[in-house]
Amino acid sequence: MTAMLNLQGVNKIYNPNSRHPVHAVIDLDLAVQPGEIVALLGSSGCGKTSTLRMVAGFEQVSSGSISLAGRDIHTFAPARRNVAMAFEGYSLYPPLTVRENIAFAMKSEKMATADVTARVDEIAQLLDIEDILDRYPTSLSGGQAQRAGLGRALVRKADLYLLDEPMGQLEPQLRAHLRGRIKHFIKERGLTAILVTHDQTEANALADRIAVMEGGVLQQFDTPAQLKDAPANLFTGTFIGEPPMNIFAAQAKSENGQLVFALDQGVDLSYDPTAFPDALQQAILGLGTVTLGVRPHAVQVRDHGAKAQVYAAQWLGDQTHIAAHFAGGSVVSVHHDRVSRAKGEEIGIVIAPQDLHVFDTASGNAVSHGGTLA
């Protein structure tokens, strides 16, 4: 399938000739398929908005190319790109009412007035803003203005919809409610969309694939499940997942026929080598210094196993979180049932080989996930 949107080698350098150039987006390759919803996820300043603005045409690419629906668009003016964008700082036209703002977005479609009214009403219903259609932007709350801005983007007919933090101003309940409706709206019409968010719950709920960015660099572009099961590096491993993945520095060695990971303070995790294919053992032993990762829900609390001391245990109503001092650091374990552990209690930590992620400490890149080479 040919991609709907294709970014190749895209760079954005702000103020390139100044003493403080900012390399906001670095060698970005990204292909979005028709009908796909992609989330751009990353911390503040990682280059999400810069990426969207280059696609929409509000920023020039410093280098690289962008094609949309088979056309090279990166030199086109924004109006010629056929991209609808909802901005992070909702930019509504102050002299127009919300209804006029949304209708204005359709002016190039030259529709009959009755059709325009029907489309505005449909979008207003979708976003729960029917009651503010006759108001002016200055009288709106942040969340109302944001939904009006989102409506102005979704009402258009475009090849691509770019939504920059479209629900950041809304309370969690309304966000969750609208998220479902917006996803249905986009999927029902087969639209292609890129959503920017810091919120991984939102990314997981809305997106087919998530592009994780950090420091202007795309770290991984994968389905929500793959990002959890097979993080490409330590950054995605620890960034995706709540509570975050547990991380331990380790020295790998072969001892008494076992594959042993020696952690700090004399804690050893020993594995039957048959759990790791030969090539993988070679890779791990060849590195020596590795970083182990294990998801909190995969950390087993037993009577046997490596010793740890509980410092916090809490039942959250649907899961128990246990935090314990372990190997000079700490380990967090999540259980779906109610587990009672007292503060100071000694527990045994067991990590099954299929739950172990191994990373190359030097590069941060994944070596293996659960006994399979990455």
Ligand X SMILES: Nc1ncnc2c1ncn2[C@@H]1O[C@H](COP(=O)(O)OP(=O)(O)OP(=O)(O)O)[C@@H](O)[C@H]1O
Binding stretches for Mg ion (CB under 5 A): 49
The reply to whether 46 sits near ligand X by the rule CB under 6 A is yes
Amino acid identity, residue 264?
D
Question: What does the per-residue mask of binding to ligand X show for 65-104, with x meaning CB under 6 A?
Answer: -----------------------x----------------
166 is written with which tokens? 């479209």
Which of ligand X, Mg ion, none does residue 307 bind (CB under 5 to 8 Å by kind)? Answer: none
Q: Which stretch binds ligand X (CB under 6 A): 43-51, 143-151, 301-309, 312-320?
A: 43-51
The reply to whether 167 sits near ligand X by the rule CB under 6 A is no
Q: How far is the CB of 44 from ligand X (least distance, A)?
A: 3
Q: How far is the CB of 48 from ligand X (least distance, A)?
A: 3
Nearer CB in complex with ligand X: 45/70: 45
Q: How far apart are CA 294 and CA 292, in angstroms?
A: 7
Q: How far is the CB of 66 from ligand X (least distance, A)?
A: 16
Q: Which of 206, 216, 214, 215 is nearest to 236 (CA)?
A: 214
The reply to whether 200 sits near ligand X by the rule CB under 6 A is no
Q: How far apart are CA 209 and CA 335, in angstroms?
A: 27
Which of Mg ion, ligand X, none does residue 47 bind (CB under 5 to 8 Å by kind)? Answer: ligand X
Q: How far apart are CA 359 and CA 339, in angstroms?
A: 31
The reply to whether 44 sits near ligand X by the rule CB under 6 A is yes
Which of Mg ion, ligand X, none does residue 138 bind (CB under 5 to 8 Å by kind)? Answer: none
Q: How far is the CB of 198 from Mg ion (least distance, A)?
A: 9
Q: Which of 227, 231, 245, 241 is nearest to 332 (CA)?
A: 245
The reply to whether 48 sits near ligand X by the rule CB under 6 A is yes
Nearer CB in complex with ligand X: 157/198: 198
Q: Are 229 and 369 in contact (CB under 8 A)?
A: yes
Which of 10, 30, 39, 47 is in the footprint of ligand X by CB under 6 A?
47
Helix (H, G, I), strand (E, B) or coil at 348: strand
Sequence-separated (6 or more) residues with CB below 8 Å from residue 97: 133, 134, 135, 136
Q: How far is the CB of 227 from ligand X (least distance, A)?
A: 18
The secondary structure of residue 182, as a DSSP letter, is H
Q: How far is the CB of 13 from ligand X (least distance, A)?
A: 9
In the complex, residue closest to Mg ion by CB = 49
Sequence-separated (6 or more) residues with CB below 8 Å from residue 190: 34, 35
Alpha carbon 128 to chain centroid, angstroms: 26
Which of ligand X, Mg ion, none does residue 46 bind (CB under 5 to 8 Å by kind)? Answer: ligand X
Alpha carbon 319 to chain centroid, angstroms: 23
The reply to whether 146 sits near ligand X by the rule CB under 6 A is no
Amino acid identity, residue 103?
A
Q: Which stretch binds ligand X (CB under 6 A): 14-22, 239-247, 275-283, 359-367?
A: 14-22
Nearer CB in complex with Mg ion: 45/95: 45
Which backbone phi and psi does 238 adopt, to 5 degrees? -90, -20
Nearer CB in complex with ligand X: 52/280: 52
The pairing of strands 22-32 and 258-262 is: unpaired
Sequence-separated (6 or more) residues with CB below 8 Å from residue 258: 270, 271, 272, 273
Which of 5, 32, 39, 49 is in the footprint of ligand X by CB under 6 A?
49
Q: Which of 42, 92, 90 is nearest to 196 (CA)?
A: 42
**Within 13 Å and on the Cβ side, how many CA atoms surround 359?**
23
The reply to whether 138 sits near ligand X by the rule CB under 6 A is no
Which of 4, 5, 7, 24 is in the footprint of ligand X by CB under 6 A?
24
Which residues on adjacent β-strands are paired with residue 251? 262, 289
Q: How far is the CB of 128 from Mg ion (least distance, A)?
A: 25
Residues that bind ligand X (CB under 6 A): 14-15, 22, 24, 42, 44-50, 88, 198
